[in-house]
Amino acid sequence: MILATIGLSLAWICGAVVAFRIGRCVSTPLLTWLGVYRYYSPMFFTQPFGRGRLELHLGTTWDFFAQKNVTQQVLLTHLGMGVKGLIETIKSGSIPLDTKLRGTMYFLSSPTLERLGFRVRQPLPLEYVAFVANYLEICLLLTLVRRRVSFIDIRRVRMIDATALDLVSHEHRLAPIIERLSSRTPVLLS
């Protein structure tokens, strides 16, 4: 009886996660149109994460399928363009300098992220739970990008934090990093 209850609970949780992920995918155009998602490149966007906070994302499942033929190189290029676009938006005054930025990262090295102006840290327990809820979808997207079955080593997941001011103050370092992000140099990949 207890095992059946546990099994049913796990099935409900898994079903809820899958339904949420599918809902998020198909709602991407609507959330973009409503301004919840604000894109700075075709695959780099922010979304509000509480008051005075923005969460950084490198594409939804919708974006990966809409872009077609997304490679690791394309992702890095969009990341570089997106960070540059975000900095331009901050400098225009559309985003206050005290806005806090955060994101989950698993493929750029910590030194590269720090040169972009981010602080890198290990995820908190709830952040790990959120990542695990997205794990299968992220592995699917990584598989599409690499064109082979790929899994993410959860031990390599890191959180990045910065303020809008941090990014603007590191802008002078951005040009060479964007150039490397959009080149075929694998040195940036951790």
pLDDT value of position 43: 86
* Ranges 74-78, 99-103, 127-131: which has the least confidence: 74-78
Distance of CA 149 to the CA centre of its chain: 20
The pLDDT confidence band at residue 26, using thresholds 50, 70 and 90, is low
The residues, ordered by sequence, that sit 6+ positions from 164 with a Cβ below 8 Å of its Cβ are 90, 95, 96, 97, 98, 99, 101
Residue pLDDT, tens place only, 43-56: 899 999 989 999 99
Q: Which one-letter amino acid corresponds to residue 108?
A: L
Alpha helices in the chain (DSSP H): 2-33, 61-67, 72-91, 110-115, 125-146, 164-169, 171-181
Model confidence at 88: pLDDT above 70? yes
- Max Cα–Cα distance, the chain, nearest Å: 62
Helix (H, G, I), strand (E, B) or coil at 87: helix
Distance CA(46)–CA(28), nearest Å, equals 12
